[in-house]
Amino acid sequence: MVKPSGRKGLSFAFDLIPTGLEYIAAYIEDTVDKVHIVDMEMDHRKFQDLINLYSPDLVGISLSATEHNEGLRLAKIAKKNGVMTVIGGYHPTSVPDLMLSYPQIDMVIRGEGELTMRELVEKGTPENVLGVSHKKNGILIHNEDRPRIENLDILPFPARRLRQYSYKSQNRTTDCDVIVMSRGCNGFCSFCCEPSMNYGCLRCRSPENVMKEILEMAEYHQRKSLSVMFADPNFMGNPRGVDRLCDLLMEHDLRIEFCALVRPDAMAKYPEIVKKMCRAGILRFEMGIESPNSKDLKSTKKGFTNKVHGKAVRNIRENGGRAGGTFVIGLPDQTAEEIKGFPTYAKEIGLTAAAFGIATPFPGTEFYKELDKQGLIFETNWDNFDEMHSVYRTKHLSKEMIEELATYCMAKFWNLDTFIDQEMVSQKRTVRKKTIVDFTRERTLNISFMANNGNKLQKDNLSQHIKTFLEAYIDPRVETYTRTVGVHEVLEMTRFLRILGSQKIQCTLSLDDTTVSFVFKTTSKTVEYIRVICGRQEGSTINLDVDLKWLAEPYCTNLQKIFAFRFSHNFSIKKLWNTFKLFVAIGTEVMASNLQTPRAHFNLSLL
Ligand code: B12
Ligand code: SF4
């Protein structure tokens, strides 16, 4: 069972675990000699070497649209070795004819894989196996659909014991895992694959069955602290089930922080359950906010209005949870002005995290059918069906404009005020200030996530994207926010400020003629404000200049990166002394942090 490589979008933030393959492996394990799960993103061996090692009779590959090409490449290698191939997942289910047109694909399993795969390996032939599409003498045969599994409790838990890799959460130190409480969704959003895969039908496991798996999962991870994603597309689809699960979770002392994908209308409607979820450790939420505009919510058939947005976010924030939201940009009639308003709206309603995906017509969706009918889809490379590239013509915006707007939205939202706000909200729960070292370490990871994403995504036009990013950062709201909240009230930095004293630190980022400065005004006790301005301002006491040319140059060496940093703008002895104090303040904090938690290594070069 194989998952192709190729991180895209959100999988830079979360390691993607092939749960579907683990489910299937668990279901067929007792009927085959051996089943191996290979994740080519995590495995550093060549696929040919793995074929030699395992000598499989059958290779099963899981595919999304963006993995189409890579999946075909792997299937070709398997086929060259005389191995039968079968593929499954949302993409092949939607386009079985296309997939079977490739000589290296023998069979497609449509829909859920467990029962179909078991029957297939037991019979040894696809003939009359429900849910299989295959070829016979060059003719495509689509066997009838297999009915959905109504009682999900009959399924054995995913075969984590077959896992060969250690999956990590965004901080790269905590283990992460995935669990599924329900399948399907009762929504009918036009751009989503759920309606075609599950026909608006939501099926749920019993909370008791889920709890049993959670306990088994905790044991698998030796009860270490863990970050777990509920991969249900609509986790709150059955609020009573979630409520019961929270009761069960609270009976145990587990070191698990859960994340769930939820609809904002449910989060607005059930404040008591939201409260309970946060108490039970379900703390991070990703909501499909999609757009502030009613016309977009209507055209995509979201089934709710923008009135629910603010209320949903408030319910989460009040309980110290992380209110994440995703937006869809580049819909057929959206304008640049409308899209530019999205990050502002995200901040206004109080989201603590946001992602801005480009509307992508996946085959099988209503959205795809509509655009295909009008001949608007121009992209032919499936690699770009990743919600980060523009793949069809819209009324007002070019491909380049949409992709730049995605960068703009990202930068406008992920400014320093958002990072501070995130901390402020989580303090409601932790009642503890985070140290400046931990805070900076986590922000460095966020920035590297954005840089990885940007590098990979916009490699042809990276300089322009960096400039758009810098320009979007200029925002007077950062100063207003930091003056009101007080960064020192949110982060533990007493010793740091005492050593640093009264300073005006100016950190200037530039690329060609685009220059943006971050000004940090400190006293020995407070951070008065953080200001983000175009160009430079006079009167700073410490200057750090960073030339971002190296970012736009993907193959630059570490040495080049180091030379991009300069502390010497308008050099004077006084400034040198102040810079020294800054280094001492940072060094002291890093040492203190390493003494307290030796695993919190800090990469000084990043500072
Ligand atoms: C949770 C989730 C994520 C998580 C991953 C969680 C994890 N597993 O680690 C995160 C947030 C990281 C993520 C990222 C992305 N995701 Co996502 N994700 C989902 C979601 C909601 C659930 C996936 C899941 O784990 N399901 C649970 C398992 C049990 O189901 P399953 O994987 O579908 O497997 C079953 C069947 O499909 C089938 N099957 C699957 N593989 C195979 C293989 C064989 C051989 C066989 C026989 C059967 C079979 O049998 C399995 C068991 O029944 C799905 C929608 C959904 N409901 O599935 C979208 C979905 C898969 N994601 C999607 C997309 C677009 C993305 C991103 C590109 C978004 C972005 N821009 O960042 C990235 C892609 C990342 C990458 N490839 O690098 C799309 C894919 C569209 C398409 N047609 O290709 C989906 C369908 C959502 C949608 N838009 O409708 N995702
Ligand atoms: S609510 Fe979410 S999972 Fe359900 S159909 Fe809409 S986008 Fe898909």
Ligand that lies nearest to the alpha carbon of residue 95, given by its number in the listed order: 1
d(CA 96, CA 86): 11
Mean pLDDT in residue range 486-509: 96
Instruction: Say yes or no to pLDDT of 441 above 90.
Output: no
How much distance in Å is there from the Cα of 351 to the middle of ligand 2? 19
Q: Are 539 and 494 in contact (CB under 8 A)?
A: no
Instruction: Say yes or no to pLDDT of 563 above 80.
Output: no
Under the banding of pLDDT at 50, 70 and 90, the label for residue 606 is very low
Under the banding of pLDDT at 50, 70 and 90, the label for residue 597 is low
Under the banding of pLDDT at 50, 70 and 90, the label for residue 557 is low
What does the pLDDT read at residue 152? 98
- Encode pLDDT of 143-197 as tens digits: 999 999 999 999 999 999 999 999 998 777 889 999 999 999 999 999 999 998 8
Length of the chain, in residues: 607
Neighbours of 58 (CB within 10 A): 18
Question: For atom 66 of ligand 1, which residue has the closest CA?
Answer: 386
| List of residues 6+ apart from 278 with CB closer than 8 A | 316, 319, 320, 321, 429
d(CA 300, CA 426): 33
Question: Is ligand 1 within 6 A of the CB of residue 357?
Answer: yes
Per-residue buried b or exposed e for 344-356, using 16+ beta carbons within 10 Å of the residue's own CB: ebbbebbbbbbbb
Describe the crossing of helices 416-430 and 476-485 by its angle, rounded to 10 degrees: 30
- For residues 599 and 14, the model is more confident at 14
Question: For atom 11 of ligand 1, which residue has the closest CA?
Answer: 10
Ligand that lies nearest to the alpha carbon of residue 287, given by its number in the listed order: 2
What does the pLDDT read at residue 556? 63
Mean pLDDT in residue range 400-429: 93
What does the pLDDT read at residue 460? 66
Could you tell me the two tokens for 244? Answer: 């019961």
Under the banding of pLDDT at 50, 70 and 90, the label for residue 572 is confident
Could you tell me the two tokens for 219? Answer: 């044991």
Cα three-residue angle 557-561-563, rounded to 5 degrees: 115
Atom of ligand 1 nearest to the CA of 6: 78
Q: Are 289 and 309 in contact (CB under 8 A)?
A: yes
Atom of ligand 2 nearest to the CA of 195: 5
Question: For atom 8 of ligand 2, which residue has the closest CA?
Answer: 192
Question: Is ligand 1 within 6 A of the CB of residue 356?
Answer: no
CA distances from residue 1 to 29, 36, 87, 387 in whole angstroms, order as listed: 12, 6, 9, 26
d(CA 56, CA 2): 12
- Encode pLDDT of 16-45 as tens digits: 999 999 999 999 999 999 999 999 999 999
Mean pLDDT in residue range 83-92: 98
How much distance in Å is there from the Cα of 70 to the middle of ligand 1? 16
Instruction: Return the DSSP state at 78.
Output: H
Question: Is ligand 1 within 6 A of the CB of residue 192?
Answer: yes
- Encode pLDDT of 190-239 as tens digits: 999 999 888 889 999 999 999 999 999 999 999 999 999 999 999 999 99
Mean pLDDT in residue range 449-458: 63
Neighbours of 473 (CB within 10 A): 20
Under the banding of pLDDT at 50, 70 and 90, the label for residue 607 is very low
Q: What share of the chain is helix, strand, coil (3-state, %, to 5)?
A: 45, 20, 35
What does the pLDDT read at residue 559? 63
The torsion region of residue 89 among left (phi > 0), alpha (psi -120 to 50) and beta comes to left
Nearest to 36 by CA among 137, 162, 160: 162
Question: Is ligand 2 within 6 A of the CB of residue 182?
Answer: no
Question: Is ligand 2 within 6 A of the CB of residue 187?
Answer: yes
| List of residues 6+ apart from 604 with CB closer than 8 A | 586, 590
What does the pLDDT read at residue 442? 83
Question: Is ligand 1 within 6 A of the CB of residue 388?
Answer: yes
Question: Is ligand 2 within 6 A of the CB of residue 263?
Answer: yes
Instruction: Say yes or no to pLDDT of 329 above 70.
Output: yes
Helix-then-strand count for the chain, H and E: 25, 22
Beta-bridge partner residues of 146: none
CA distances from residue 310 to 384, 405, 526 in whole angstroms, order as listed: 33, 24, 32
What does the pLDDT read at residue 603? 43
Mean pLDDT in residue range 359-387: 97
Instruction: Say yes or no to pLDDT of 605 above 80.
Output: no
Question: Is ligand 2 within 6 A of the CB of residue 189?
Answer: yes
- Residues 509, 528, 351, 339, CA torsion sign: negative
Ligand that lies nearest to the alpha carbon of residue 190, given by its number in the listed order: 2
Neighbours of 567 (CB within 10 A): 16
Q: Could you tell which of 182, 190, 192 is best to mutate to test the pocket of ligand 2, judged by most ligand atoms within 8 Å of the CB?
A: 192
Under the banding of pLDDT at 50, 70 and 90, the label for residue 600 is very low
End-to-end CA distance of the chain: 42
Question: Is ligand 2 within 6 A of the CB of residue 234?
Answer: yes
- For residues 101 and 446, the model is more confident at 101
Percent of the chain with pLDDT over 90: 81
Task: Determine the distance from the C-alpha atom of residue 58 to the mean position of all C-alpha atoms in its chain, rounded to a whole number.
Answer: 32
Residue 33 burial by Cβ neighbours in a 10 Å radius (0-12, 13-18, 19+): exposed
d(CA 127, CA 134): 9
Torsion, Cα of 215, 221, 222, 225 (10° steps): -90
Question: For atom 50 of ligand 1, which residue has the closest CA?
Answer: 113
Nearest to 325 by CA among 335, 317, 334, 333: 317
Mean pLDDT in residue range 369-381: 97
Rounded to the nearest integer, the mean pLDDT of the chain is 92
Ligand that lies nearest to the alpha carbon of residue 300, given by its number in the listed order: 2
At 276, is the secondary structure helix, strand, or coil? helix
Under the banding of pLDDT at 50, 70 and 90, the label for residue 277 is very high
How much distance in Å is there from the Cα of 230 to the middle of ligand 1? 12
Q: Could you tell which of 182, 185, 232, 238 is best to mutate to test the pocket of ligand 2, judged by most ligand atoms within 8 Å of the CB?
A: 185
Atom of ligand 1 nearest to the CA of 64: 84
What does the pLDDT read at residue 567? 61
Question: Is ligand 1 within 6 A of the CB of residue 91?
Answer: yes
Instruction: Say yes or no to pLDDT of 455 above 70.
Output: no
Beta strands at 503-511 and 491-492: parallel, antiparallel or unpaired: unpaired
Mean pLDDT in residue range 88-98: 97
